[in-house]
Chain A
């Protein structure tokens, strides 16, 4: 994926990406202080916001191949299980319940499987959001500090899942983080951002 001369002004942040290449099949880190435009960049890639100018070359990637986990994930008014199978349902894919249960078990949220998503704690919400994003095996995954509310054991577990999926699917990951020392072992490549610019 290649981003050229992409410009977007949101509030105080003036985002300008002159030239950024995100090689496919790699795990990229996006690191920088709060308010430097990381989330905006992800939203632009996801197509949630339109740029003021510039372009993104998806290099054959379809919009439905890309997913994004927000910092505050949107939860459907349904059970945890129904939330997780939603992307499979709209793709008309058969849901293998045993497999999904296995996934839930591993993430430690099997016992709340049938609970109403609105009643979850913020850590559980992030786990749900993570599973929902990876369940349909997208080619590119954007993560916006999705694991920030997890305890260190859980975070370690999810890092493992990221690596595993990356190995199995050859998927591309772009992970926003400011606690970069903990996440950095994942990253094949790290992009530093400051005041709306890629600095390194």
Chain B
């Protein structure tokens, strides 16, 4: 067991997949967090005709199968596609683009829900303190920080575990766009299960760590509301 694990985790192909996974997940979560938080808070604070529809579309996009986004990004980035000249297909950048499209709605949708319930009270409070607009915005973000962390952790969890769009757009190229999940998929197709299980374990451990982080952040939230 020990030898087997050591063998799996010193395998350069496995290490490369882990590196690509994190490179992709960190970049896409970072971009999605900025976009998602901004969109979520903006939606909460603005009224316009069609807002309900926008919110509903956002909710819908939260549940879109990633492989559909993968196909969309594939068609956009292929040689003859509208984004073809950018040469994003079969690159980590292309994968990040697909993931940003998948994760941003998740973060914005969650942030919006949290903001809907918390922001009115924060705004009222900011007014009683005499805060100006910028100070109010800063206060809102700082007061919602636990919720925002939780949304970002959720987004990151999706990013590292996603396989459909990453396979389509990244192409599972060894050493370049092969992630842990697409590698598992490949290993399965080769009938090599032990390394697949090793990678699966690693992903499980990461999911566990994320879950723990998420629980911790949620506990903070509950502590705040508990009076």
Contacts and interface: CB of A to CB of B under 8 A. Distances in A.
14 contacts: A43-B124, A67-B128, A67-B130, A74-B121, A76-B139, A77-B142, A86-B129, A90-B132, A118-B225, A121-B227, A125-B227, A132-B129, A136-B130, A138-B130
Interface of B is mostly: helix
- Closest 6 A/B residue pairs (Cβ): A64-B130, A74-B125, A118-B224, A68-B128, A48-B124, A87-B129
B135 interface: yes
B145 to A, nearest CB: 7
Given A120-B227, A138-B130, 18 more contacts: A46-B124, A46-B127, A63-B127, A63-B130, A64-B130, A65-B130, A67-B128, A70-B128, A74-B121, A74-B125, A76-B139, A76-B142, A76-B143, A90-B130, A91-B130, A122-B227, A125-B227, A136-B130
B135 A74 contact: no
Contacts of A138: 130
Interface of B: 121-125, 127-132, 135, 139, 142-143, 145-146, 220, 223-227
A47 interface: yes
A139 B123 CA distance: 21
A70 B129 CA distance: 12
Nearest to B222: A118
B125 to A, nearest CB: 4
A119 interface: yes
A134 interface: no
A180 interface: no
B128 A77 contact: no
Q: Which of B121, B124, B128 has the most CB of A within 10 A?
A: B128
Given A90-B129, A90-B131, A118 B226 contact: yes
A77 B142 CA distance: 8
Q: Which of B123, B131, B139, B220 has the most CB of A within 10 A?
A: B131
A74 B130 contact: no
Contacts of B223: 116, 118-119
Interface string A107-132: 00000000010111110010000001
A133 interface: yes
Nearest to A132: B129
Contacts of B145: 77
B137 to A, nearest CB: 12
A74 B121 CA distance: 7
Given A74-B122, A90-B135, A118-B223, A47 B127 contact: yes
Contacts of A125: 227
A24 B214 CA distance: 51
Contacts of A68: 128
Contacts of B142: 76-77
Nearest to A136: B130
A87 B130 contact: yes
Nearest to B220: A77
Interface in A41-87: 43, 46-48, 63-70, 74, 76-77, 86-87
B227 A118 contact: yes
Contacts of A90: 129-132, 135
Contacts of A48: 123-124, 127-128
Contacts of A74: 121-122, 124-125
